[in-house]
Amino acid sequence: MTNMDKLYDAVAARGPVCVGLDTDLSYLPEGFADTALTAGENIVRFNRAIVDATKAAAGCFKVQIAYYESLGLDGLRAYKQTLDYVKAAGMPVIADVKRGDIAKTAEMYAKAHFAGDFEVDYITLAPYMGLDSIRPYLPYVQQQGKGLFVLVRTSNPGAKDFEYEALADGRHVYDLVGDKLHELGLECPGERGYSSLGLVIGGTHIEEAAEIRARYADSFFLIPGYGAQGGTAADIARYLDKGGNGGVVNSSRSVLLAWKKQPGTPFAEAAYNECVNMKEAIRNACNSL
């Protein structure tokens, strides 16, 4: 089985919620941080509590490396320890690194995140430089079952600066990117009907949702935009298959900061409540389609 097959099974078992451990020190509740510890050590304590609380209601976790890089060596230790904890919990983990270089540099990025200290199951990539920015990762995909999520149509407002530009044949730039990635993904099929080359499809623009899901029926989606970015369960459901699978839906701040909206509730319990509510909302929306 490929890692994408395993992710499909995780979603089937626990739902499509992807908990984003994009943890800033300011997200920790007042009084939680231990002044005898470093910023990174306190973030790891917080992350472990979030993982313990939410793993029963989440399909996977995603760790955005920038939050850890910003703390220097202390942060990179926290990044590794967070990855290790998620993996020890038996949960799929996506490293949100958005690498986008070519040739030997891309080979080194692949080695950095698919082997050694920072090894993960899936990473995110940016394809702007072309398919030769993706191919150096394929040996890990084809030989070890690793998974990729490549940016196609993103959830940020600036997506319309480039991604929505029209081509001469009537497609958008994001269609061109998606079509080429979909074709490349045919080289790495999985047992559950999805290739190991997944697509990042933002959930905040819903006009093309049905077309995108049908066009890339055998591509697994990483869907950002839920919650703090404005995406609703009804929006998100359009990007999943009829059974509510075929993708994972990332939520970071809505989970990590759930304690702010649930006064008196311990932060880890509040995070669990948010995951359950999110999972049920998406399931209900999928059932209503």
Place of tokens 């990332």: 250
The pLDDT tens digits of the residues spanning 242-259 come to 889 999 999 999 999 999
Q: What are the residue numbers of the active site?
A: 98
Place of tokens 């839906």: 249
In total, how many domains does the chain have? 1
Judge contact between 162 and 173, C-beta under 8 A: yes
The packing angle between helices 39-54 and 72-88, to 10°, is 20
Under 8 Å CB-to-CB from 109, ≥6 apart: which residues?
97, 99, 101, 136, 137
> What pLDDT does 240 receive?
95
> What pLDDT does 228 receive?
65
**Best CA proximity match to 224, nearest among 211, 216, 212, 235:** 235
Q: What is the pTM of this model?
A: 0.96
> What pLDDT does 113 receive?
98
Containing structural domain, residue 96: 3-288
Burial class (CB in 10 A: 0-12, 13-18, 19+), 271: buried
The pLDDT tens digits of the residues spanning 196-255 come to 999 999 988 788 888 999 999 999 999 998 876 777 899 899 999 988 999 999 999 999
Determine what percent of the chain falls in helix, strand and coil, rounding each to the nearest 5: 50, 15, 35
CATH of the domain at 160: 3.20.20.70
Centroid of chain to Cα 85: 17
pLDDT by residue, tens only, the chain of 289 residues: 999 999 999 999 999 999 999 999 999 999 999 999 999 999 999 999 999 999 999 999 999 999 999 999 999 999 999 999 999 999 999 999 999 999 999 999 999 999 999 999 999 999 999 999 999 999 999 999 999 999 999 988 899 999 999 999 999 999 999 999 999 999 999 999 999 999 999 988 788 888 999 999 999 999 998 876 777 899 899 999 988 999 999 999 999 999 999 999 999 999 999 999 999 999 999 999 8
Phi-psi region of 150 (alpha: psi -120 to 50; beta: other; left: phi over 0): beta
Helix H or strand E encompassing 84: helix 72-88
- DSSP lists the bridge partners of residue 231 as 226
> What pLDDT does 231 receive?
79
Between CA 69 and CA 71 the distance in angstroms is 5
* Token pair recorded at residue 17: 């919620």
* Token pair recorded at residue 103: 């040739």
